[in-house]
Amino acid sequence: MEIVVTGRHTQIKQRFRDVVENKMNRVTAIAPDAERVQIVVTHEGNPRQADTAKRVEITVIAGRTVVRAEASSTDEYSALDMALDKLTLRLRRTRDRRKDHRRGYTNPVPVDMGVVTPEPAEEEAPAEEPNNSPQAAVASDLGPGESVEVQVGDTPIVIRRKLHIAEPMTIDEALYEMELIGHDFFLFVNKETNRPSVVYHRHGWSYGVFEIDTPENVKKAE
């Protein structure tokens, strides 16, 4: 299993890499088919956020299944432990679901793949644009996996756009993928309606679904 550790606004020490290597046996014990694990450590420089100064994101890729977890703490070691606890719980759910649902279900490719490709340790400054504006972020064509960032004028606002390719899936499959990556929402294409849709957490075990369509398409369906 390939293990990739990168840092954002921080340097990764060899001791931390060694700890990661030792702890990844928890992943292989639950998901022996795991092919790659990516760990991203982010440092928050704001002293007011000292309690969450270090954030650790762990992404496991096993075939077409992507499982993700993250946690923040005062240091990267405790953040790693908390993120790993969340991750192993989700890996167990995935393993149990496979055992209980041998009905030809194929794990779809999740839309949220932003953290799968390793990024440099330090984020590069966005390229200078003659006319920085929100429109500039969506003006150019993108290929699969490509992204573009544009800073709006002299403000701290940065708009990032990325193109993802994903197979249509059902609402049930989208909810499952949302739980795996640990987000409160999940963007997908509804297999039943072929519409861009979002599932999201409401409260407790309650979920919601948004579907998007144009007035022209709605009229055609009537």
Q: Does residue 110 fall inside a structural domain?
A: no
52 and 96 housed in the same domain: yes
Q: Give the model's confidence band at 182: pLDDT under 50 very low, under 70 low, under 90 confident, else very high.
A: confident
Which pLDDT value is given to residue 167?
82
Q: Does residue 125 fall inside a structural domain?
A: no
Measure the CA–CA gap between 27 and 96, rounded to whole angstroms: 15
17 and 94 housed in the same domain: yes
Contact by Cβ (8 Å): 111, 50: no
6 and 92 housed in the same domain: yes
Q: Does residue 94 fall inside a structural domain?
A: yes
Query: What's the CATH number where 178 sits?
Result: 3.30.505.50
Contact by Cβ (8 Å): 154, 85: no
Query: What's the CATH number where 73 sits?
Result: 3.30.160.100
72 and 139 housed in the same domain: no
Domain of residue 92 covers 2-100
Q: What is the mean pLDDT of residues 131-147?
A: 60
96 and 175 housed in the same domain: no
Q: Does residue 145 fall inside a structural domain?
A: yes
143 and 175 housed in the same domain: no
Beta strands in the chain (DSSP E): 2-8, 36-43, 54-62, 65-73, 147-151, 158-162, 185-189, 196-203, 206-211
The packing angle between helices 171-181 and 76-100, to 10°, is 150
147 and 181 housed in the same domain: no
Count: domains in the chain: 3
25 vs 122, more confident:
25
Give percent above pLDDT 70 in the chain. 76
Q: Does residue 119 fall inside a structural domain?
A: no
97 vs 113, more confident:
97
Q: Does residue 147 fall inside a structural domain?
A: yes
150 vs 82, more confident:
82
pLDDT digit string, tens, across residues 80-107: 999 999 898 888 887 777 665 555 545 5
87 and 48 housed in the same domain: yes
Measure the CA–CA gap between 176 and 107, rounded to whole angstroms: 9
Q: Does residue 198 fall inside a structural domain?
A: yes
pLDDT digit string, tens, across residues 11-52: 999 999 999 999 999 898 888 888 999 999 999 877 777 788
pTM above 0.75, yes or no: no
154 and 193 housed in the same domain: no
Say if residue 173's pLDDT is above 60.
Answer: yes
55 and 22 housed in the same domain: yes
Highest mean pLDDT among 1-10, 94-103, 122-131, 155-164: 1-10
Last residue of a domain, one of 100, 122, 139: 100
38 vs 165, more confident:
38
Measure the CA–CA gap between 25 and 27, rounded to whole angstroms: 5
31 and 93 housed in the same domain: yes
Burial of 8 (0-12, 13-18, 19+ CB in 10 A): middle
Q: Does residue 195 fall inside a structural domain?
A: yes
175 and 156 housed in the same domain: no
